[in-house]
Amino acid sequence: MEHYLFSNKPWFSRPTNTTRASSTHILLCIVLAVFAIIWPTLGCNSSPNIVPVKGTVLLDGKPLEGAAVLFHPGADEGPAVGITDNLGTFHLTTRNQSDGGHVGLNKVSITKESGEPSLNDAEEGIQDFTLVTPAQYASPELSGLEIDVYPGMGPVILEITSE
């Protein structure tokens, strides 16, 4: 078998056995590259660890509009996020729009900022937003809210107080 690593001859004038081996090798590399690109996207919509989660946030018994609701799963997973509508309802999103949250125990944080930023007097040009929700609910560790997410679960009601 002859091998031409560097040659002035075009690839089509090389001996047949080397050209065939090279073509097979190139084809195999292309197939593997395509597979490597497509593999991560397969099945993203049907992950068994992510299930639909919807619910309502009530602040002092009234629907809370425009609040960010985050479900924080265990280690190594990003949170699922939902924004409440005018009725206080939300649908969680993890990877795709409204796909849900991670199965298992999730710590929950809820925040809503005021619509009007105030200028910080200490540093001109820095805008501070005031939380509408109590600060404790901004932390998943301090909120005291935990939800067990599982397939087929019903809507979640998260009741928080301003006290």
Structure pTM?
0.66
**Residue 45: predicted pLDDT:** 46
**Residue 13: predicted pLDDT:** 56
Looking at the chain, the whole-number percentage of residues with pLDDT higher than 90 is 52
Segment 134-143, tens digit of pLDDT: 999 999 999 9
Read off the pLDDT band of 44 (50, 70, 90): very low
Segment 73-86, tens digit of pLDDT: 987 889 999 999 99
Segment 88-122, tens digit of pLDDT: 999 999 999 989 999 999 999 999 998 766 555 55
**Residue 42: predicted pLDDT:** 47
| HEC letters along the chain | CCCCCCCCCCHHHCCHHHHHHHHHHHHHHHHHHHHHHHHHHCCHHHCCCEECCEEEEEECCEECCCCEEEEECCCCCCCEEEECCCCCEEECECCCCCCCEECEEEEEEEECECCCCEECCCCCCCEECCECCCHHHHCCCCCCCEEEECCCCCCEEEEECCC
**Residue 31: predicted pLDDT:** 58
